[in-house]
Amino acid sequence: MKDIVQNNLERWLNSPKVSQEDKAKLNSMNEQELDDAFFKNIAFGTAGLRGILGPGTNRMNYFTVLKATVGFGLYLKELYKGLDNIKVAISHDNRHFSREFTLESAKILNDMGIDTYIFDALRPTPELSYAVRYKKCQGGIMITASHNPKEYNGYKVYDEEGCQLVPSKIARLIEIINSLNDELNVEVPLVENKGKNEILGQDVDDTYVENVEKIVIDKSLDKSNFKIVYSPNHGTSYVNAMRVFKDEGYEVYPVVKQCSYDPDFSATLSPNPEDPRAFIEGIKLAKEIGAEQICMTDPDGDRVGLATKLENGEFALMTGNESAAILLDYILDHKKKNGEDLSKYVVYNTVVSSMLGKAICDYYNVRLESFLTGFKFIGDRIHYYEKNNGYKFLFGYEESYGCLASPFVRDKDGIQAILLYSEMGLAYHLKGMNLVEAYDEICKKLNNFYHSELFNIYFEGSEGQAKMDKIMERIEKDPFKELLANKVKVIENYFTLTRKDLDNEKESKIENLPKGDLVKFYFEDGSNISIRPSGTEPKCKFYVEVCGKNRKETEGKPELYFEELKKILL
């Protein structure tokens, strides 16, 4: 590994293409920093490229963006051979170099003979997905690092349906990228008839918002005496969110200091709605004005965090599993009361989502399909059923705070989410209930309480990567059979797509899913644990869900399981 790092470092230090500024940065790095910057090439994960900004092969910079864009351009020209004008829509978030990477990507594609559409400024990820479909493009690019820390940026690619590329599609793109010269020596294949770059007009914003506002379920709800605090986390969603809130008549108070497009996220301790620190300023404001609910979009606007006011005036943060489950039940309950045939619908989530989603779908007799992590699988399945006149899409969600209610977008959509979360919160408020009480009521209806939490362990650099690989190998090859005297009943191994029942030692195939770096354990009491490496950060993720009769019975139990896991694995 040291040879790889040293060879890559020397290439960069000796290249005339690398700026003196970047060379100075490299010369100032310590051994650990150099190792992390050069031990591998930045690669497409669950959400495209994602990495720390800076010089290096494992970094987001002009050279790695250049290589990815040339590869994507060649991929589209191969896929649409014979098409006169291939079109790509590009958008970006508020991060450092996002606009520069957008303009550079557009120029590279134009030089390759591909037309591009870009916005006049930053726009959310879901609007990029919409723009691909609205302008009938063959692809899309979103420059974003989503909810990662400020040091990061990223690069996501989309197909003609506005959906991120699934493995069967991205495999060929990766082959093309890997066939190119190293990142410092990639040449743009110039053509005589260059493509054109066009700035997208107001009509994209207007029609996107119009489509969002169509998803309202109950327009009759009395919105007086229901104040909402909203934060865009310095990101892309402020304009669209406030426009939708105003159009729908909600009394909304933005966290003003977090509404600027600040790449340093100066007014928040975290841009990630999963992190309680992200809610500090929002909770302060909510207590000052007497708000009932707090909504927060992440920087690229595809995820939403939610907090609800308790009886004692404090605010409880809802997990992605909790907020999505309450919304799913809210949607299904309305459709059932309206007499709709629920058997024609399908709901999507992921294999690491809470089992509560399945319990709700079973209760309403609605089909549920679960996929590996990555909303691209959900977007791709929506297209499959549309093309084959199959089940009608109803709702899709991930535990990681992302959901979709209307498929005019093919990625998770934070603006759709905040609109329905606000309606849902209002509806329960009018019943005299907060969202914690709503969640408890749903679990009571289903005769089981579901308590899920996510835990992370970070593994930096080549040594960390090797350690994480060993942990996953051990989990796959020599899985534990019980934790805290709770016996494992079933093990799902997504490396091999096999399901093993430990009671009878029978093994079966997991159908209709691609292989993935994930192992899931189901326990006798209904609890479950999923373990997988992150596709966007150097960490291993542990999804722990325990079941019981009520909230009190499950308190603290996920932490106990995680501590036991650490003893076994570390």
The string of pLDDT tens digits covering residues 75-120 is 999 999 989 999 999 999 999 999 999 999 999 999 999 999 999 9
Lowest mean pLDDT among 381-390, 394-403, 534-543: 534-543
Instruction: Give CA 405 to chain center in angstroms.
Output: 15
| Residues designated catalytic | 146
Position 570 scores a pLDDT of 86
Residue type, 151: E
Query: What 3-state class would DSSP assign to 74?
Result: helix
Residue 378 is encoded by which pair of tokens? 């959900």
Whether residue 59 contacts residue 12, with contact meaning beta carbons closer than 8 Å, is answered with: no
Query: What 3-state class would DSSP assign to 99?
Result: helix
CA–CA distance from 363 to each of 15, 62, 140, 329, 396 (Å)?
Answer: 63, 51, 38, 10, 17
CA–CA distance from 12 to each of 32, 39, 327 (Å)?
Answer: 17, 13, 50
Residue 460 scores a pLDDT above 90? no
Residue 120 is encoded by which pair of tokens? 């006049």
Residue 264 scores a pLDDT above 80? yes
Query: What 3-state class would DSSP assign to 549?
Result: coil
Sequence-distant (≥ 6) Cβ neighbours of residue 131 within 8 angstroms? 89, 91, 117, 119, 123, 137, 140, 162, 200, 204, 208
> Burial of 288 by CB count in 10 Å (0-12 exposed, 13-18 middle, 19+ buried)?
exposed
Residue 1 scores a pLDDT above 70? no
510: β partners: none
Position 281 scores a pLDDT of 98
Position 160 scores a pLDDT of 98
Quickly count helices (H) and strands (E) in the chain: 18, 23
Segment 152-173, tens digit of pLDDT: 999 999 999 999 999 989 999 9
Domains of the chain: 1-39 (no CATH), 40-206 (3.40.120.10), 222-447 (3.40.120.10), 449-569 (3.30.310.50)
Whether residue 488 contacts residue 523, with contact meaning beta carbons closer than 8 Å, is answered with: yes
Rg (CA), the chain: 24
Residue 526 is encoded by which pair of tokens? 């209904």
* Mean pLDDT value of segment 325-335: 98
In angstroms, the CA 363 to CA 142 distance is 38
Greater confidence (190 vs 168) lies with 190
Residue tagged 């024609």 (tokens) = 344
Torsion angle of C-alpha atoms 161, 306, 217, 389, degrees rounded to 10: 30
What is the chain's mean pLDDT, rounded? 96
